[in-house]
Structure formats: C-alpha cells, structure tokens
A and B are shown apart, each in its own frame.
Chain A
Amino acid sequence: MAMNDAPKKTPPAVRQPPATIPGRFAQVVSRFPNRVAVSTPNTQLTYSELDDYSGVLACEVINRVGVVSSPAQAMAGEPVALLMEHAAPLIAAIIGVLKAGKIYLALDPTDLAARIAAMLGHARARLLLTDKANASLAHSLAAGRLQVMEIDDQFATHAKSTIPVEVSPEVGAWLMYTSGSTGAPKGVWQNHCNVVHHTDVYSDMIKLTPDDRLSLLTSCSLAASATHLFASLLNGATLCPFNMRSQGVERLADWLGRQRVSVCHSVPTVFRRLMRSVGDNRHLESLRLIRLGGEPVLRSDVEAYRRHCSVNCILMHALSSTETGLISALMINRQAALPDGRVSVGRTVRDVEVLLVDERGQPVSPGSDGRIAVRSAHLAQGYWLHPDETAKAFHKDAHDPQTRLFVTGDLGRFLPDGCLEHLGRVDQQVKIRGRRVDLSEVETALQATDLFEETVASAQECPSGEHRLVAHVVPRTGTDEASQACRHLLKRSLPDYMIPVEFVPMVRLPKTTGGKVDRLALPPPPRRSESLARHRPMPRDRFEKVLASIWESALGVSQIGRCDDFFDLGGTSLASIEVLAQIESTLNVALSPSIIAEHSTIEKLAALIADHAVMPSPNPSVVLRAAARGRPLFLVHDGPGNVALYGQLSRRLPDRPVYALQAVGLRGESWPLMSIPAMAGRYIREVMAVDPTGPYMLAGRCVGGLIAFEMAQQLLRRGRPVGLVVLIDSNYPVPSGRRLRWTERAVMGPLHDISRILRWGIASAIGMRRNVHWLPAYRRFVARMIARARRAYKPAFYPGTITLVLADNAHFPGEDLRLMMTRYARQTRTINIPGNFGELLIPPAVDELARRLQASLDAAQSEDPP
C-alpha cells in the first residue's frame, strides 16, 4: 500500500481533536495551507484558498439569515440549500455553510424541478445558494419565498474574514433526501460529531494519507458523497469532483488517470462501464483502492478488477445507508479467491453492531436470513421535522441512552466465516405465483449469462393483480437470440417461477442521480392479456367483435363477453378514453368522452355505433351519404384531419348527398398540406369534380369552418357561385387557452414547426412512411400541420354571407373569438344551438344542428335559379 514517505497522521495528544467539521478543517488548513484541497480540470484550490473563500461565504450566509435558527429548528440548526454544479464552488459553499453553523442541503440541478421544490418546501430553508449556471432555475424555484444568493467562482479575490459563530458538535451538518419510492422523499439529517466520527472510521480503514486523491463521482445531494468529501478535506488529501452527467462515463477512465486519483468510489454499474471503457491491455495505474457499494458486486466485477487494476490496488465492497452510514466492508486484493456468486460485504466496521431481525423485529436464529438492523451511537439524527417517524424508525436502547437501533430495508445473512452477505432490498422481494422471489437474485443470474451489458429485473402487475417477472436488458448482440438463449441458460440456475416471462430490450437503462438503475423509470413491458375463464355470452356480429378486441387491448383482458361491464373489468376513465380513440381510428365514429360511462357493455355500445361507422378512404373526398337528388353538402375536416365526427350529422340530412373532405396525408400516402389556402385549393378540385356547376354548399367545424371559408373565396375568384358557407364553432385563428408570449409568437412557434417538419422529412426519407405502424404518427403530424396552418391563416374579406353556428355553452375568457369572423364577411347569419362547445356533432345537440342546417340548406337552394 502507498504509505511510504507520506507524512503520518499525528496521534491525538492529550487534547481530543475537535469534533466539528469547521474545527477539524481549521487544523488541516493550518497544517497544509498550500496543499491542493479541490482539483478539477480547470481549478486547483489550495486549503488556504478554500478556507478564505468559504469563510467569506460563511459571513455572507450569516448576514442573510442570521446566527440564530428559528425556534422549530433550534436544536438542529437551520438548513441552507445549495443548487450548484458538481464542481469546486459547490465544495466551497458546503464548507462555508458548515462554518456558518448551518446545515447544508445540496440539491441536484438535474433532478426533477417538482422534486427539488418539494424538498425546499419541506426543509423550510430560507436561503438558496446557487451559481451562474443554475441561477434562473434557482429563482424560479424560490419564487420570492426564499432568498437566493448567487456565488461567483473568483476564489482569489477574497480576504480573510472572521466568522462570529462557534459551531457545536451537536448541530446538524447535512440534510439529505432519500428517493422515497412510495411516498414523499424523506429528509435524513446528521450532526457534526457523527460526520467526523464516520470520517475517522473510513480514513483509518483505508489508511488515508494527505497524498491521496479521492474521487467524488456521486452527486452531493446523496449521502454516499459525504464520505469522500469529508475524508479528503479533514485529512489534507485532495478531492477530485467529476460531473458524470455532463462528462459521461466514457471520459471517466481518462480523467482518473489525468487527475491521478488514488481512491475511487462508485456504484457497480458505473464501475462496469468504466472497466469496459479501459480496454484490454490497459491498467488504471494510479488507483490504490476502489470502493464499490449500493448494488450487488458480482464475480465478473472481481474478474474485471483483476484485469484492469494494478497489483497494489484493493477492492473494497461496502454496505452503507443514509440513516446508518458505513455498516460493513470487505477488502480484497488480487490474490483473493474468486467468489461463486455474490461478493459478501465483509465484516462490520468499528463501533457498529449488526443484528438480523425478522418482520416482528425479533432476532432470527443463527445462520438464517433476516433484515439488517444496525445498533450504533452514530446513526443519523433522524427524519427532518418528522419526530414521529424518527421515533418509529430509530429505536432507543433501554440500557444505553447514546445507542439506537435502526432496521434497514436490506436483507442479509452471516456466512460461516463471519462475513455479512447482502441479499438485496426488502422492497425488491416480490411474490410470483405465491412464491417469494428476490429480484437481485434474478439479476445476478441474468448478469452471469454474460449475454447482456446491463440487466434489471422487476415485477410488473397485471390487471388481475398478479405479478409477473420482467427483465429489462441491454443485449450485447441481437435481441431475440439473446432472450431465447438466456431463458435456456437460466433454466439451469433458477427455478421455473424465477425466470422472467418478458424480456424488454433497451438501448440503455435509466439511471438515478447516483448512477444506480432507476427502477421507477423503466418502461412498462408490452401488455399481455389476461383470460377470463368463465362462461359468458360472447360477441356475436362484426361490430361486437371489433369492439371486444378494442376493449381487450385497453383492459389487458381477453375473451370479454358481450354483457361484461367495462368498469367491472377494472376499466378506468383513462382506459375509456383509450377505447374511444381506438373506436375513432378503426371505425371512424367520433363519440362523446362520457359514452362508455353511459353504455358500459359491448352489447349496448355496439347498438349505439353500428349505424354510424364510416369506412375509411384514401381520397380527400369521402362519401358520407349517397343520394341522387339535391345539391351536395361538403363538410371539411377539423383539427385532427379526419371526418369521423360528421358521421352522425350526415345521417340526419336525408335529402341530399353528403361528402366529407379529410386531410391529405392521414395515412402517410403523401405529404400533408401546410396552409389553409393550399388545403382549400386542393379541396375545391375535389368539390368541382363531384359537382362541376354549383352553387356550392360548404360547412366545417372549428378549423374546418375556416377552410370552408377560404374555399368559398377561391370558388368566387374562379367565378363559381357559392350557396352556403357554415362555420361551426370556428374560432378566429388565434390560439386558444394560454396567451402566447411575443417571443413564442414571433420565434418559437415557427421554429418548432420547422424542427417538426425537418424531423418528419428526415424520418420519411429513411423510409418510415412505408411502415404501417406509423399510422398514429402520420395522424399526429397532419394534426400539427393543420394547427400550424390555422395559426398562420390571415382571412381576407369575403363579399358574401357566412353562417356561424355557435354552441350556447361555451366558455371564452375574453372576447368570443367565434364572433371575430363576422368582421371578414359582408353579412353574417348566426345560429345558436343549445349544447356544449365541442359536442355539437354528437347527440343530443346534433339533432338540433341537423334541423337548423337543413333549413339553411333548403333556403339557400330555393334562392338558386333553377
């Protein structure tokens, strides 16, 4: 070990060393003022510089929030939040906050903003420190409720300053929020003397010297970061922060070599990618110790360590948690025997006692598995501002008031040699077909097949409430072969029920801030249907069968009977919307969103829609109703581009042919039209092919009304007579809802459109449009282009009469935009229909609409010369 000529740590003399971070830091500064404390590619910060700079920050913090904490936090101190890049200024800010006697709460700027806001709110911080890169995020999060202080990185310009605070060892040092997979994130806090204690234990264990250079890969918002942060700064060593998010793991190997990092701490997932990037014949020369933890370490990891680390390098596998700190650790060198499966987590560290307990908190019999419980005088202080939860989780010892017991969420067992084996998290224990399965065991077996780069096993819930085992994998080779071969291999090592039923191939697995696999962000596997075994009347005719298949895909249940109730099968309102969308796209019937609630069996629903289904057509013009006599009515599509919504209206207009015009490109057959005049030009060709003379009867809902309006203008310009132009609930072309800012109007809107068009152009150039699975994507793109065309449309004055059909029940916050169109026509007729905005084309409003429209059509036709 590299202990050779480094200055030895002086043994404690008669006086105890200070038990606070600022106290210990001051000692180190006086001893090593010119050693480098923090080293990044562009900053080398010595201890005296770090001391000066953090001192200035401490004074500034005290100026802003004062020395005394609010009474609620009087004992613990007050948290000061930090929202900064993972770099040297953050380290200085942490030391500054600690010198000011405050608790540091480091927030990860890459975290979800909602989560950061929740933490800030819960911690009741009054001050947020930030840097230039995160200032705007900080101000939006603060929203005037807390002070924001921006820090620059001018280290050199600060003079010495005295801090008017004496920090007590009992005051809080850090506050860290755990991920909280089921509930809200929980804040855990720890005081100065325990942080110093944990630092001492760790430094002694790894024989830390001031010559060491320690990596800091973990975000400072996680408790795992505190070990290296304080181990280096309280021992005169150098801390090397590396921003994994912005730099990427690919550059890690290079960085380790350039920074001459001697002690590296990472999670196994990062370690594996690091080892792969090193290359076969290369070694990581500078490393003398690698610490892994947080996930299982496998035999293959030990092999990789042997291949790529130097002879002197030690592998440390540690078990720790936010609430307890370091629990146990195993240290092996390259000569150690390879383990069979998992690598143990070794023996418990100094001043910590590990017990294994069962679900009732009773110790298990020797040799059996149990939950890992930790007895120690140095556990975290508890959950921030949650004394009840703290009392529940941290059990006081009856005999020793200093000692408490914390039951972790980890399972373990003691091996015959006294080492502790970590068996995974309690929340990773799932029941599959009634049997208890440990997901990490499945993952270990998956990794052992060596077919995948990365794997994660999870239990997914079926609609019936059963769990099935799903593996998300990053295959090394082709997907199908890999999962087939894997099933085969797994049969040798795992019982049948532990083999995943579904393999979901991924390009890479989602990661948390700490670099672990983010189980919550895994995409759901393709749906598998659940069979209904009972006898029930099955769907009879074509419509019922189509509807049944739509229900089956939405509910994940197969063999649905015609009398089964949608909601009894577990249907939710969201699933009902999915059913509606499917009905709309396969059967071309638009229905009200509440229809499933009112017609909740296949039998009832089929009876309702069988009359209205419209078969799809590749041409813009679709015959909704064929009739020999009468002037035809042309209905123009609305925003989504299809004409399904006119089905019910056309059934109620019996005396004339009804045609509908659907948007070009809905099926990917050609490029969509980009402007309303272009659409109108294309559609009047269709219209004139059907009816060469006119006068023409045109109508449309929403944007369809605007297109009809434009068609009328173009027809007039060509000298064709127009009988009727009906705009049903058509707004003047200003986007509804939120008012756009001028930047969005002028720049962002067109930019987004251009980027959409470019992306779509590229996608179609590489052949996507020929793929039938992209139908929904065509529809989306066409809909967006229609929305874009609507925004860009500038109506010209129309020297005729337009008819506005308005739903009575419409809510417009300001002026009714539907009335704006009257300014663009010489004359306007208005028809008010009782009903809701957006629901005029479905019962009951459609009856009244059809009656009034019929009257207008008849009137227009009688005005014609015969």
Chain B
Amino acid sequence: MTQPTTMPHSPGGHPGLPGSSEVHLWCTNLDDSPGDIGVLSHMLSPQEQARARRFVFEKHRCRFIVAKAWSRSVLGPYLSREPCDVPLTVDARGKPHIIAEANHVDLRFSLTHCGRFAMLGVTVNQNIGVDVQYPIPDELWTAVTERLLTPDELAYIHDLAPTERAFALAEIWTRKEAVAKALGTGLTSQVFSYAVGPSAWGTVHCGRGLRVWSLPGHYRLARAVAVREDLWTPTVRTAMLQSVPTQQYGSRTLPKNL
C-alpha cells in the first residue's frame, strides 16, 4: 500500500485551491493565539457566536472561538473572501460546511481539535474527515474497547506493551472518527465495525470507498485523515500556522502570512 506522499507546503504564500488529488492540512495551537478573543469572536457567524456562548467553561469557549476564527482565516483565501465573509452553516448533525450557492469550487473541509491542538483538512469535490487525539489512558477503554474495536484491533492492542497502548488506541480512535467524519454519518456501530487499525497498518481501505491513514511526526498526538479511495494517491500538503493572525479583522484586512 503506498502511503500518500507528503509535501511540506512552502510558507509565504497561500497554496491556492487543492488539486483533484490533493489534500491540504493545516495545524495550529489554539492557546497560542495572541489575538484578543473579543475581536476574534466578531469573525464568527451569529450562529457560531451563540454556540460559543453556551459553553460553561471559559477555556472551552476560547478554544472554540479561536478554532472557528482560525479555520475562517484559512478558508477565506481559498474562496477569495474575507475570513468573516466565509459563508458557513451547519447541517442537522452539527457538521459545518460552506453554503452551496457561494461555493462554486466545491471546497470541502473538516475541522477537529483536541485540547489545544487543531487541524483543518481541505479538499475540492470530495469528502474529507480528519481527527486528532492525545493518548487515551487504558483504564478509560477497558469497557469501551470490547465493543468498538474489531477482533484484530483488539488483539493488536492487547499485544502491545502497556506504555504503547495509549497512543495506539488514540491512533485507532482518530482513524475511526476520521472515517465517520468523511462519511458524515456520525459515530455509529457500523463505523466502529470497520477495521481501520493503528498507524502500523499503514493506509487502510476501510469500506464505503474510503481510505484512511495516519500522519507521522507528532510525538504525542495521533492524527488521521480519511478521503475517497478510488482516484489516486493523494498529495498531502501540510502547513503549520503558528496561530491566528493578529491583524484587526474589524478593518477587513487579509492576514498576510497566509
């Protein structure tokens, strides 16, 4: 199985729309944002602002706002729009997407965050699911694994040293969740019945026409991407954005370092 080739994105310019066999991945640290939360929240739609207000804890609210503002500032240049003008809406399951009338290029994306780390996957014309997860402590899984892992996955986890288990579990979890996101079904028993395995299994074709793989390189964070399997070997462009740019979004200037 060929792993998707990874090309580091040259920082400095926006990469432009992903080609038909390309996946753009963007990563950031949500707690690193030097921008003022109040200012950033003005970039969000009224719908998103209402969601942000419902969080009970400030930390969750802040991360939600930064994640949304950041994803808008990444998506904006793809659509040649200001970040606050990116026309986003959510479907019945709460999954955000770009309003179809304003989306002539059929840009699709998947946003995920775990703790302070966020990742955004962007494609054209095809669904994408991404997920990140810190290692999952073993005791959390004692009851869960039986139902959610396939027998082979269970056997794999069981045969690992306890120290490696938490990371492998996180890998399997992210791969399942990425598949669920790409399918748009939410987490169902059906999704859990697909054998996706840990990153040691490489790229896995997991049914429903999807392939899923893990990104290497992050020591403590499992990251997975799922896209359609039939066409090609996708090219992955990764880019680390340090944080949400600090420019004043009220004055509608485009962030320079995108």
| A, B in one complex | yes
Cβ of B105 under 8 Å from chain A: no
> When chains A and B are docked, how far (Å) is the Cα of A837 from the Cα of B207?
13
Cβ–Cβ contact A809 & B190, under 8 A: yes
Q: Is the CB of B199 within 8 A of A114?
A: yes
Whether A838 contacts B137 by the Cβ 8 Å rule is no
B58 at the interface (CB under 8 A from A): yes
The reply to whether B115 and A461 form a contact with Cβ atoms under 8 Å apart is yes
Q: Which of B6, B57, B147 contacts A465 (CB 8 A)?
A: B57
Q: How far is the CB of A123 from chain B (nearest CB, A)?
A: 12
Nearest CB on B from A521, distance (A): 7
Is the interface on chain A under 10, 10 to 19, 20 to 34, or 35 or more residues?
A: 35 or more
Interface-forming stretch among A1-9, A33-41, A75-83, A775-783?
A775-783
Are A581 and B190 in contact, with the CB atoms below 8 A? no
Is A615 engaged at the interface, CB distance under 8 Å to the other chain?
Answer: no
Among the listed B140, B188, B189, B200, which residue makes an inter-chain contact with A578, where contact means beta carbons less than 8 Å apart?
Answer: B140
Smallest CB separation, B136 vs chain A (Å): 7
Q: Is A371 an interface residue (CB 8 A)?
A: no
How distant is the Cα of A572 from the Cα of B144 in the complex, in angstroms?
15
User: In the docked arrangement, what's the CA distance between A121 and B133, Å?
Assistant: 23
Are A121 and B216 within 8 A (Cβ)?
yes
Report chain B residues within 8 Å CB of A113: 200
Given contacts A463-B57, A738-B195, A779-B143, 20 further A-B contacts (CB under 8 A): A112-B219, A114-B217, A179-B219, A181-B219, A183-B218, A185-B219, A385-B8, A464-B58, A520-B220, A524-B137, A574-B136, A580-B144, A584-B147, A592-B188, A737-B151, A737-B152, A777-B142, A784-B154, A813-B207, A836-B188
- Counting from the closest, the 8 A-B pairs by CB-CB distance are A465-B59, A737-B195, A838-B189, A776-B142, A581-B143, A118-B217, A836-B190, A184-B217
Please name all residues of chain A whose beta carbon is closer than 8 Å to the beta carbon of B194 when the two chains form the complex.
811
Q: How far is the CB of B206 from chain A (nearest CB, A)?
A: 9
Specify which chain B residues have a CB less than 8 angstroms from the CB of A385 in the assembled complex: 8
Whether B246 sits at the interface, judged by CB under 8 Å, is no
Give chain B residues whose Cβ lies under 8 Å from the Cβ of A523.
Answer: 137
Q: How far is the CB of B172 from chain A (nearest CB, A)?
A: 12
Contact status A593-B192, CB under 8 Å:
yes
CB contact between A597 and one of B57, B115, B186 (< 8 Å): that residue? B186
Chain B interface mostly: mixed
List chain B residues, Cβ under 8 A from A340: none
Partner of A811, one of B207, B216, B219: B207
Question: Interface on A for B, CB 8 Å cutoff?
Answer: 112-115, 117-118, 121-122, 143, 179-185, 385, 388, 461, 463-465, 510, 520-521, 523-524, 530, 532, 557, 564-565, 568-570, 572-574, 576-578, 580-582, 584-585, 592-594, 597, 639-640, 735-738, 740, 752, 756, 776-777, 779-780, 783-784, 787, 809, 811, 813, 836-839
A523 to B134, CA, bound (A): 12
Chain B interface residue count, CB cutoff 8 Å, equals 64
Q: Enumerate chain A residues within 8 angstroms of B218, measured Cβ to Cβ.
A: 183-184
A817 CB → nearest B CB, Å = 13
Residue among B29, B187, B193, B194 with the most chain A CB within 10 A?
Answer: B187
**B155, B186, B200: most-surrounded residue (chain A CB, <10 A):** B155
A640 touches B163 (CB 8 A): no
| Alpha-carbon gap, A837 to B192, bound state (A) | 10
Given contacts A465-B58, A578-B140, A752-B159, contact A735 B151 (CB under 8 A): yes
A–B Cβ pairs within 8 angstroms, 16 of them: A114-B199, A117-B216, A122-B217, A388-B11, A524-B137, A568-B54, A570-B55, A578-B140, A594-B187, A735-B151, A738-B195, A752-B155, A777-B142, A809-B190, A811-B208, A838-B190
